[in-house]
Chain A
Amino acid sequence: MSNIPKDLQYTQSHEWIRRLGDGQVEVGITDHAQGALGDLVFVEVPEVGRLVKAGEGCAVVESVKAASDVYSPVNGKVTASNTELASRPELLNQDPYGAGWLMRVELDSSAKGAELLSAGDYANSLADAAG
């Protein structure tokens, strides 16, 4: 069973967000997502300063098996991205909710973000998909 921390919020497309306070969030992909992808070999993170929209592709994670887009769960401006992943993509497999974070975003509160799930709802959606 994959790890789903209670203090984060999730999307149906397997991203997580962590509220950092001061209108900032951290974004990554879930343990379930990294497990399904297998060993990651390339990660492309967004440039700092880029404006991202909810539902828009903001990063690419490529594993031995396949390349996948990561969709921004929120609207806002990228304030930091995890450049460590360029040389150490395996961090995303080893620690998807910590050292494997993808970007930090300063939220644009004027626009509506994607619908976010609680840990419990995300766990249920995984269970439904596994059916």
Chain B
Amino acid sequence: MGLKTPLYDTHVAQGAKIVDFGGWDMPLHYGSQIEEHHAVRRDAGMFDVSHMGVVDLSGSRVRDFLRQLLANDVARLKIHGKALYSCMLLPSGGVLDDLIVYYLGDSSYRMVVNAGTRAKDLAWIREHAAPFEVGVEERSDFAMIAVQGPRARDKVLALLPEELRAAASSLGAFVGGDFGSWFIARTGYTGEDGFEIMLPADEAAATWAGLHALGVAPAGLGARDTLRLEAGMSLYGNDLDEDHDPLESGLEWTVAFDPNRDFSGRAALEKARSSPGRRLVGLLLEDRGVLRSHQKVIADRQGAAAMLGEVTSGTFSPTLSRSIALARVPVGVGPRVQVDIRGKLHSATVVKPPFVRHGKPMIPPAQENS
């Protein structure tokens, strides 16, 4: 028996297949993972993400603390409620976690961390916060629902009291704010527009039911994974871990190498940056079959069957009707490689993610079978 979110009983009542995820009993799907995926791409779907950790940080030196803790620079946040995506690094440059941090004021920030890394993150944050006299409060009183898809925002707005609607509807991309007892942010993990709502745990079931009544489809972790992979977004534990730095994980763009700021892991990254290493690339399978994590990637040259690297996340893309993956390979590999799928070599094309954005394929879909 794992940990349960405030929506666990709701999931079971809606027929969810429950699986363990980072110690939590979470819905994998409610019948069809592919239909849930399409609901998010075409209309609106909702995910219970209450297993993620919400951490409030406060104190007069909290900004200095976060500028040292995170590889991205919170000094970039100027607008109230603005969010920043960042890695939190070990001195080795390895990724402890990837997270979102919201700027709520000069002495107040809110962080959302992964479920599976929550305990080690909090220990790390508390240890490093102490010298800055920063308060660290885990907000276990919150549930979190992500509502995603082209019609997701309209559905959430319809549930809000009228006096809050205009302000919530004008939230810019990657900005959040307080709306009564809810914190609503225009963020997500699907490549679609939408909101992530943090709300008191005892309001979660009624809100979920209200969204469902408005036609928002419950979606499980299965669809969440295919959606994020189509969007080219990393999953901690697959594409990111303590053994690889952000440069090798497709996240160089999140590292702020501005001068005059030291952050945990910086020295190691400076060193890694000066030598060509491995990078995360997208793969598009040309044959039938499904790319999956840990499959070996091999050079596509006769007589040079050199092992290059491996798939870090792979799946069948419901939007493209073919298999896609992220893989860690040496810089400059491509344009074609071979992947060992169950003992047979299959051709794949190296592409730059995302594969799908705002419902639109970014690369040609598979030819229909004739």
Residues in chain A within 8 A of chain B (CB atoms) = 38-39, 41-42, 44, 62, 64-67, 86-87, 90, 93
Contacts and interface: CB of A to CB of B under 8 A. Distances in A.
A45 B160 CA distance: 52
Contact of A39 (B34, B288, B292, B342): B34
A127 B295 CA distance: 34
B29 to A, nearest CB: 7
Given A38-B33, A39-B33, A87-B369, A65 B288 contact: no
Interface in B289-317: 289-290, 292, 315-316
Given A64-B34, A64-B315, A42 B29 contact: no
A64 B289 contact: no
A62 B316 CA distance: 10
Report the interface size class on chain B: 10 to 19
B290 A39 contact: no
Nearest to A36: B17
Q: Is the interface of A mostly helix, strand, loop or mixed?
A: mixed
A93 B17 CA distance: 15
A38 B316 contact: no
Given A67-B342, A87-B369, A38 B290 contact: no
A93 B35 CA distance: 13
A62 B290 contact: yes
A65 B289 CA distance: 12
A62 B222 contact: no
A100 to B, nearest CB: 15
B226 interface: yes
Given A38-B33, A67-B289, A67-B290, 17 more contacts: A39-B29, A39-B33, A41-B316, A42-B288, A42-B289, A42-B290, A62-B289, A62-B316, A64-B33, A64-B222, A64-B290, A64-B316, A65-B222, A67-B292, A67-B342, A87-B369, A93-B32
